[in-house]
Amino acid sequence: MAAGIPGSERTRLATAGARAATVDSLKHQPRGDVWKGNVFFAILLFGLTIALVGLAAIIIQAAVKGAPAFGWNLLTNGPSTLNPDEAGFRPALVGTLYLILGVIFLVVPLGIGAALYLEEYADGTRWWNRMIELNVQNLAGVPSIIYGILGLAFIVRGPLDLGFILVAGSLTLALLVLPTVILASREAIRAVPPSIREGSLALGATQWQTIRRQVLPAAIPGVVTGVILAISRAIGETAPLLLVGAATFVTFNPTFIGDNGYSALPVLIFNYAARPQDEFRVLASAGVILMLIVLLTMNSFAVWLRNRYEQQW
Amino acid sequence: MIGAFGQRGPARPVPSLEAPSPRYGEKLIRAILAMCALLSVVTTTAIVVSLLIPTIEFFGKVGIGDFLFGTNWAPTFQPAAFGVLPIVVGTFSTALWGMLFAVPIGLASAIWLSEYASPRQRKVIKPVLEVLAGIPTVAIGIFGLVFLSPMIEDVLPFMVNVPPFSAGVAGLAIGLMIVPIIASISDDSMRAVPAGLREAAYGLGATRMKVATRVVFPAAISGIVASLVLAGSRAVGETMVVLLVAGASPNLTFDPGSSVLTMTAFIGQTATGDISTGSITYDTIFAVGTLLFVITLILNMFAIRMVRKYREVYE
């Protein structure tokens, strides 16, 4: 029995002893408890299994369905409504690449800057700082399609009036993942113990010198992990791009500010999938595999990075 | 010690602890970082403003009562009708079926992870569940469309009245998407329950199941509720799955077999076309967006408050 109890060796022994005494004074353990416990454990395992099977099914199903269309065609050919056999994702892939470059360029400085301010400078007892904090948490939960509306009304039209160009899509996605980057960076910065800062300040370094030379280098692995996870989210985001003009059938490679339209990988996948013919669904599934390969690689790298550089202070 | 005091020279200047210069650079950096943080407030303001202006215009043309309590949704028809209830019910229907699937599975996974798994099992299973959280929703939507929907149509035909579209199947796919949110946050909050509570219960002869269900679960309830509310908010705001699987018919029903239009699907479907600014259709998108924003904001605020509660108690 003692083996099943969590905790350190000593608490485990103590707990097991107390338990034995109690059970002994009660003469016997209620018989129902044992089989109830087993049934409960079986139910838990069953639930977990369904979650894992669901995950496996999504990946396997996409791989099986998309296999016939999977090949270099996907990378080299443009989309086609007539010829699903030869259609590919090239302009959409280039579009996604540019979109993500824009997102990185925007969220890395802004996200880390905001996180540094909130963790290192902001006085948490002031109402405005608390408001910013609450605000960031709330923004992280706003549905992505609302960001699409913001992009449409504020960036594509309205005050910024950029038109349906790639940069507008980048800006929209950047605003969407910014809260995630801020929250992850804050976690990483908070994990640097105060003694490091105090030591640096006591030696005469200014606050910014302390941040630059001590806090940031120590927090970088956590920050990078957060940034990668946010970017992999941006790669798969479809809904906001539908609203800010990621047109589907762009047969040429896009540019950042050209107004001939641009496309993105998930948007093209969505469009293929929404067509009733099976050939297009095969193509969409092949696109999903392509996207999942990129995302799973990035996510595994992030997890590896987190484990590799996790610092014990 | 005393000698040391005695030897102190009479006119030695005490070094000042004041900074030798005003350090304008430091102040500038602080200001720049503060601007970065303020951007989030600007974003929120921009969201609210860009939603509100067209919404106010919309309510100049359509009565608030007709919008909120009308039961006929046909904004692009002649004559147009703007009763939002069918798409609100459609949204809650898919979210409800998703939660019915995800809550037991997510909680079972969380209890297993926090109370039964060995550290090694945990180290493998938790990241795997997080991978599920990282799968783009468009991929989950395609899974629902080409796999779940035909399969369920074969087994339970009443679940898919208009193949391949069904609120129930869309719910199932959404459920798959939100399982990791429930599992991950609930697991975190159950692990934050101090070990002493568990040890005391074991010491009194409780079984593992009793410890999990009668001690840890109630002690972590605020975090668990927060995870459920956050998952619900995510389910309500999900767009791609419902665009692909739920269909596009504004039916006022919770029937899982029926095809429904959700708020997000309406926005996603209508805003993709080239619609002219200022038209009633354009304004309708924003009115629906405002409603969606308000619903998810209320859910999120509630969840944030609950998370804060368990952090205050145990950390």
- Per-residue model confidence as pLDDT tens for chain A (313 residues): 444 555 567 777 888 888 888 877 777 667 777 888 899 999 999 999 999 999 999 999 999 998 888 888 888 888 887 777 788 888 899 999 999 999 999 999 999 999 999 999 998 888 988 999 999 999 999 999 999 999 998 998 888 888 888 999 999 999 999 999 999 999 999 989 999 999 999 998 999 999 999 999 999 988 998 899 899 999 999 999 999 877 767 777 787 877 777 889 999 999 899 888 888 899 999 999 999 998 988 888 888 887 787 666 6
Query: Which residue in A44, A64, A118, A229 has the most chain B C-beta atoms within 10 A of its own C-beta, making it the best mutation to test that interface?
Result: A44
For residue range A55-74, what is the model confidence (pLDDT) as tens digits? 999 999 999 998 888 888 88
DSSP label at residue A261: -
Confidence at residue A248, expressed as pLDDT on a 0 to 100 scale = 67
Q: Establish if B152 touches chain A: CB-CB under 8 angstroms.
A: no
Amino acid of residue B221: I
- Which tokens belong to B51? 């939603």
Cβ-based contacts of B308 with chain A (< 8 Å): none
From B194, B145, B195, B217, select the one nearest B315 (Cα to Cα): B194
Is the Cβ pair A54, B176 closer than 8 Å? yes
Q: Establish if B223 touches chain A: CB-CB under 8 angstroms.
A: no
For residues B237 and B242, give the distance between their C-alpha atoms in angstroms, rounded to a whole number.
Answer: 10
A115 → chain B, closest CA residue = B37
- Which tokens belong to B120? 């090694």
DSSP-based three-state secondary structure for A46: helix
Instruction: Tell me the pTM.
Output: 0.88
- A192 CA: distance to closest CA in chain B (Å): 17
- Which tokens belong to B107? 């909680």
Give the burial class of B249: count Cβ atoms within 10 A of its Cβ; 0-12 exposed, 13-18 middle, 19 or more buried. Answer: middle
Confidence at residue A3, expressed as pLDDT on a 0 to 100 scale = 45
For residues A217 and B20, give the distance between their C-alpha atoms in angstroms, rounded to a whole number.
Answer: 27
Query: Which residue in B16, B33, B107 has the most chain A C-beta atoms within 10 A of its own C-beta, making it the best mutation to test that interface?
Result: B33
B274 → chain A, closest CA residue = A245
Output phi, psi for A93, to 5 deg: -65, -45
The interface residues of chain B toward chain A in range 98-137, judged by CB-CB distance below 8 A, are 104-109, 111-113, 116, 125, 127-132, 134-137
Cβ-based contacts of B145 with chain A (< 8 Å): 273, 281
Is the Cβ pair B34, A299 closer than 8 Å? no
The interface residues of chain A toward chain B in range 272-291, judged by CB-CB distance below 8 A, are 273-274, 281, 284-285, 288, 291
Is the Cβ pair B134, A45 closer than 8 Å? no
State how far the alpha carbon of A195 is from the alpha carbons of A121, A312, B69, in Å. 16, 14, 59
Output phi, psi for B82, to 5 deg: -120, 35
Is the Cβ pair A22, B125 closer than 8 Å? no
Confidence at residue B98, expressed as pLDDT on a 0 to 100 scale = 96
| Residue among A29, A61, A139 whose CB faces B40 most closely | A139
Query: Which residue in A64, A146, A147 has the most chain B C-beta atoms within 10 A of its own C-beta, making it the best mutation to test that interface?
Result: A146
- B177 CA: distance to closest CA in chain A (Å): 9
Q: What is the 3-state secondary structure (H, E, C) of chain B?
A: CHHHHHCCCCCCCCCCCCCCCCCHHHHHHHHHHHHHHHHHHHHHHHHHHHHHHHHHHHHHHCCHHHHHHCCCEECCCCCCEECCHHHHHHHHHHHHHHHHHHHHHHHHHHHHHHHHCCHHHHHHHHHHHHHHHHCCHHHHHHHHHHHHHHHHHHHCHHHCCECCECHHHHHHHHHHHHHHHHHHHHHHHHHCCCHHHHHHHHHCCCCHHHHHHHHHHHHCHHHHHHHHHHHHHHHHHCCHHHHHHCCCCCCCCCCCCCCCCCHHHHHHHHHCCCCCCCCHHHHHHHHHHHHHHHHHHHHHHHHHHHHHHHHHHHC
Which positions ≥6 away from B28 have C-beta within 8 Å? none
Is the Cβ pair A19, B38 closer than 8 Å? no
Cβ-based contacts of A47 with chain B (< 8 Å): 104-109, 112
Cβ-based contacts of A54 with chain B (< 8 Å): 132, 176, 179
From B281, B259, B261, select the one nearest B270 (Cα to Cα): B281
For residues B153 and B171, give the distance between their C-alpha atoms in angstroms, rounded to a whole number.
Answer: 15
Rounded to the nearest angstrom, the gap between the alpha carbon of residue B249 and the centroid of all alpha carbons in its chain is 25
**Residue A109 preceded by cis peptide, ω within 30:** no
Rounded to the nearest angstrom, the gap between the alpha carbon of residue B164 and the centroid of all alpha carbons in its chain is 27
Size of interface A-B (CB pairs under 8 A): 304
A109 → chain B, closest CA residue = B36
For residues A199 and A206, give the distance between their C-alpha atoms in angstroms, rounded to a whole number.
Answer: 11
Q: Establish if B278 touches chain A: CB-CB under 8 angstroms.
A: no
Which positions ≥6 away from B37 have C-beta within 8 Å? A113, A114, A117, A118, A122, A132, A182
- B247 CA: distance to closest CA in chain A (Å): 11
* ipTM > 0.85, yes or no: yes
From B107, B166, B103, B128, select the one nearest A53 (Cα to Cα): B128
Is the Cβ pair B303, A239 closer than 8 Å? no
State how far the alpha carbon of B266 is from the alpha carbons of A28, A164, A176, B297, in Å. 62, 21, 20, 19
Q: Establish if A176 touches chain B: CB-CB under 8 angstroms.
A: no
Is the Cβ pair B237, A232 closer than 8 Å? no
- Tens of each residue's pLDDT in chain B, 315 residues: 444 444 555 567 777 777 778 888 899 999 999 999 999 899 999 999 999 999 999 999 888 888 988 888 988 777 888 989 999 999 999 999 999 999 999 999 999 999 999 989 998 898 888 888 889 999 999 999 999 999 998 888 888 888 889 999 999 999 999 999 999 999 989 998 888 899 888 888 888 899 999 999 999 998 899 999 999 999 999 999 999 999 888 888 898 989 999 999 999 988 876 677 778 888 999 999 999 999 999 999 999 888 887 776 765
Confidence at residue A258, expressed as pLDDT on a 0 to 100 scale = 75
Beta bridge partners of B73: B82
Query: Which residue in A58, A296, A310 has the most chain B C-beta atoms within 10 A of its own C-beta, making it the best mutation to test that interface?
Result: A58
B124 → chain A, closest CA residue = A303
- A223 CA: distance to closest CA in chain B (Å): 16
The interface residues of chain A toward chain B in range 30-89, judged by CB-CB distance below 8 A, are 33-34, 36-37, 40-41, 43-48, 50-52, 54-55, 57-58, 61-62, 65
Cβ-based contacts of B178 with chain A (< 8 Å): none
Confidence at residue B291, expressed as pLDDT on a 0 to 100 scale = 95
- Which tokens belong to A233? 């989210």
Q: Establish if B194 touches chain A: CB-CB under 8 angstroms.
A: no
Vertex B63, ends A153 and B268: CA angle to 5°? Answer: 35
For residues A204 and A201, give the distance between their C-alpha atoms in angstroms, rounded to a whole number.
Answer: 5
Confidence at residue A179, expressed as pLDDT on a 0 to 100 scale = 94
| A73-309: CATH number | 1.10.3720.10
DSSP label at residue A117: I
- Which tokens belong to B166? 């069904």
Confidence at residue B273, expressed as pLDDT on a 0 to 100 scale = 62
DSSP label at residue A2: G
Is the Cβ pair A18, B25 closer than 8 Å? no
- Domain(s) of CATH 1.10.3720.10: residues in chain A: 73-309
Cβ-based contacts of A146 with chain B (< 8 Å): 47, 51, 237, 289, 292-293, 296
Confidence at residue A169, expressed as pLDDT on a 0 to 100 scale = 93
Q: Which CATH architecture has domain B82-314?
A: Orthogonal Bundle (1.10)
- Which tokens belong to B260? 């429904």
Are the C-beta atoms of residues B262 and B242 closer than 8 Å to each other?
A: yes
- B255 CA: distance to closest CA in chain A (Å): 23
